[in-house]
Structures are given as C-alpha cells and as structure tokens.
Amino acid sequence: DTGVSQDPRHKITKRGQNVTFRCDPISEHNRLYWYRQTLGQGPEFLTYFQNEAQLEKSRLLSDRFSAERPKGSFSTLEIQRTEQGDSAMYLCASSLGVGGSYEQYFGPGTRLTVT
C-alpha cells in the first residue's frame, strides 16, 4: 500500500530561480491538495484539484505559483522567481472523493530553502 509521495524531499535554491515540485497521490484518489507549512504553524491551504480540474485556489497562491494535474494523476507545483519568504515545507495530500470519505492523506513534504 503506497502512500502519497513527493519529490524532491529537499530543495535549496537561490532567490530568483524557478523550482518545480512533484506529487504522486494514492492511486485511487481523485482529489489532490497542496499546502504550505512554516515553522511553528499548521499547514496552510494553497490549491485543490478534482481529477485534472483545479477547483479552488487560496489567496496565498500568488501569480508566481502555478499548479497542474494534467492527466488527473500526479501534480506539479511551480514557483517562479523564488523569494526568501517562499522558504517552507510544501505538502501534498490526496483524498478518495467518493462515498463520503473526506480525510486527506499527506505526503512527506518537500522542504524548500531559498538563499
């Protein structure tokens, strides 16, 4: 039983560079979520997909952030022109989406450090 996987686990980049993260959800899950977590805080919602459709985006998701889920399976989150304030743990989660099952299962996260 494979859970949610994320790649890379750690990324160090210089300010102004672009970065892309990948998330592979649990195979039968049709809902996929991205969150961001900084030290001492709970995760903050960024965006949500049902299959390939991006249905909800947070105010936190500035125009430097873009997320895709092209075939309704894996998803990518790209951050353009990174800033030091983007340093955080980026978490992906997935949920089944049918049968009244709403619990979200999280991956291990990608820790981004912007220098």
Q: Which stretches of the chain bind another protein, using CB under 8 A?
A: 4, 31, 33, 35, 40-45, 48, 55-56, 58, 91, 93, 95, 102-109, 111
Min CB(79)–another protein separation in Å: 19
Min CB(6)–another protein separation in Å: 8
| All residues at 6 or more sequence positions from 59 whose CB lies less than 8 Å from its CB, including other chains | none
* Cβ atoms 90, 33 nearer than 8 A: no
Min CB(66)–another protein separation in Å: 18
Cβ proximity to another protein, 20 vs 111, nearer residue: 111
Cβ proximity to another protein, 11 vs 31, nearer residue: 31
* Cβ atoms 38, 51 nearer than 8 A: no
Min CB(107)–another protein separation in Å: 5
* Cβ atoms 32, 104 nearer than 8 A: no
Cβ proximity to another protein, 80 vs 97, nearer residue: 97
Compute CA distances 78 → 43, 67, 84, 97, whole Å: 18, 6, 15, 25
Distance CA 8, CA 21 (A): 7
Cβ proximity to another protein, 59 vs 71, nearer residue: 59
